[in-house]
Structure 1
Amino acid sequence: MTRIVITGLWICAITVLSSFAVITWMPALPKPRAEEYLEGLTYQKLRPINIPIIAEGSVQGYVIATIIFTAEAHLIKGHGLTPAPFVMDESFRQIYGDGDLDFRNLKKYDINKRLDDIKRRVNERLGSEVVKDVMIENFNFVTKKDIRS
């Protein structure tokens, strides 16, 4: 019986000493580096926007686009405002005012240039590089005759 008690006390003493040794030894280890690649970026998905396409004096149809953008989280908090309304407004302006976008005569469209212009103009309006990337989730054209009342 005494042998079991002595063995139990020995195990407790070794556990306490090893815990103490680990606690004092751990602060000397280097801290693991945090991954900085996407740190601080926030993704925001905007509600779908409907953009009328006007040609020959009447509405020909609507472009329905869903836009997603990434922005620096610490800059959004520093500004005290969200760039979402600016991205939505600039997306509407860019697509609405684009003369090359003709759905009656379809051709390849340079969407990357348009997205870069949206990002650049939003950052100009905000006064700093808040928006890092603008992406499109959905981009459709619905003709006026296909719209249900």
Structure 2
Amino acid sequence: MVKIVLAGVWACIVALVAVYFSVKLATAPPPVEESKAPPTEVVRGESITVPFLDNGAVKGYFIGRFSFMVDKQKAEGLQMPMTALTTDELFTLLVGNRMVDLSKSTKLDVEGFKQAIKTGINKRLGTDVINDVLIEQLDFLGKDDIREGGGGKPKLLPAVKIVEGQKPPESAAPAE
């Protein structure tokens, strides 16, 4: 009889130890925190047309569309609409600072141009809201390329593509 009781106790101990270790191994490990990169969202800009001035006269127009990767948390506290701010910065770079000079045959430094937009906007806001600038379109249409068509309507020749654009993700929110 003692052998049967000892065999029962032994079976219970083995079963309890087996259940304990199976539950211990089956539970998921605590989640490892990934890099604490701020959540970003794409703010899609409007199409803009910026005049190219040379010696006080309009020589052509820059036609562009830019999107911005912004820090979602910092962008929520902005007082100024993102569209107005980005448009003003683009006018400043293209007209005021003449970052793109078409009288020279050099290519546009795309990375420098994007960095200048990012730095200028972040400087005005006083914080790093813009993480990246996406150029969807940047073309130049010279004044001589606009010809008078029949019936008083202008006939446009194809624009000169300055930068081959990149499309923002489909979940891009329109600019406010």
Q: TM-score, structure 1 length as denominator?
A: 0.69
* Range 132-141 or range 37-46, more displaced: 37-46
Post-superposition CA distance 1:35-82 (Å, at most 9, x none): 657661011121111111111331110011111111011111233554
Q: Which whole-Å CA distance do the structure 1 matches of 2:29 and 2:80 have between them?
A: 38
Which residue is equivalent to 1:123? Answer: 122
Task: Name stretches of at least 5 consecutive residues in structure 2 with no aligned partner.
Answer: 1-22, 147-153, 156-176
Task: Name stretches of at least 5 consecutive residues in structure 1 with no aligned partner.
Answer: 1-23
* Range 79-88 or range 133-142, more displaced: 79-88
Q: Secondary structure at the match of 1:46?
A: strand
Post-superposition CA distance 1:86-141 (Å, at most 9, x none): 12211111111234533243212223222212211211111111111112111100
Q: Which whole-Å CA distance do the structure 2 matches of 1:47 and 1:65 have between them?
A: 8
Report the identity percentage: 27
Which residue is equivalent to 1:139? Answer: 138
Q: Secondary structure at the match of 1:47?
A: strand
Aligned partner of 1:73: which letter? K
Aligned partner of 1:145: which letter? D
Which residue is equivalent to 1:54? Answer: 53
User: What are the equivalent positions in structure 2 for 1:28-39 lying under 5 Å apart?
Assistant: 28-33=27-32
Which residue is equivalent to 1:45? Answer: 44
Which residue is equivalent to 2:92? Answer: 93
Q: Give the count of matched residue pairs.
A: 127
More strand by share: 2
Q: CA separation of 1:69/1:146 partners in 2, compared to 1, >3 Å: closer, same or farther? A: same
Q: TM-score, structure 2 length as denominator?
A: 0.60
Q: Which whole-Å CA distance do the structure 1 matches of 2:133 and 2:44 have between them?
A: 10
Q: CA RMSD in A?
A: 2.9
